[in-house]
Amino acid sequence: MTLSIAALFPLTLGHAQDEGDELRAIERERLRSLVGGDLATARRLHADDFQLINPAGVASSKEQYLGELASGALDYLSWEPGMIEVRRYGDAAVIRYQAQAQALAAGRPTGLRRFWHTDIYEKRSGDWQIVWSQATLIQ
């Protein structure tokens, strides 16, 4: 007997809109924390095993990523998401959106750029946390 992914992880239908809105709000809160340097909020919203794959293809752990923000090696000046699409699968969700962002990296401005973001959230101990994130530069 073969089970499909949908059978293993059925898309939650009941309150899908409300749950999508909740995840959109959490992602926006995460982005505000990163731009505003609110590391306490960022630490709460990023799982301990979080991993980012940045547009250059470099992987960073939670500690590496938030450490760059804390040290000033990375400083987001703006990060404006467009419409955030949400797909929920039980206690996991995938979000995807385009965003415009600008940062200082190693003291140099990156300029305002557009990116695709794909993020995986998991509900852990009742709270949503981001576990994987990948950003792709739109040329």
Q: What is the pLDDT of residues 58-74, one digit of tens each?
A: 999 999 999 999 999 99
Query: What's residue 15's pLDDT?
Result: 46
Residues 101, 103: Cα–Cα separation, whole Å: 7
Task: Centre a 10 Å sphere on the Cβ of residue 7 and count the other Cβ atoms it contains.
Answer: 8
Distance from CA of residue 7 to its chain's centroid? 26
Cα–Cα nearest to 129, from 138, 118, 120:
120
Q: What is the mean pLDDT of residues 86-107?
A: 95
Instruction: Write down the pLDDT at residue 45.
Output: 98
**15 vs 134, higher pLDDT:** 134
Per the CB < 8 A criterion, the answer to whether 99 and 117 are in contact is: yes
Specify which residues 95 forms β-bridges with.
86, 119
- pLDDT at position 19 is 75
Average pLDDT, the chain: 90
Q: CA-CA distance, 31 to 102, in Å (whole number)?
A: 12
Class of domain 11-137: alpha beta
Average pLDDT over every residue of 103-110 = 91
Q: CA dist 123 to 11, 75, 118, 135, Å?
A: 14, 28, 17, 22
- Chain-centroid distance of CA 139 in Å reads 21
**pLDDT for 18:** 73
**pLDDT above 60 for 8:** no
Q: What is the mean pLDDT of residues 23-48?
A: 98
The pTM for the full model equals 0.85
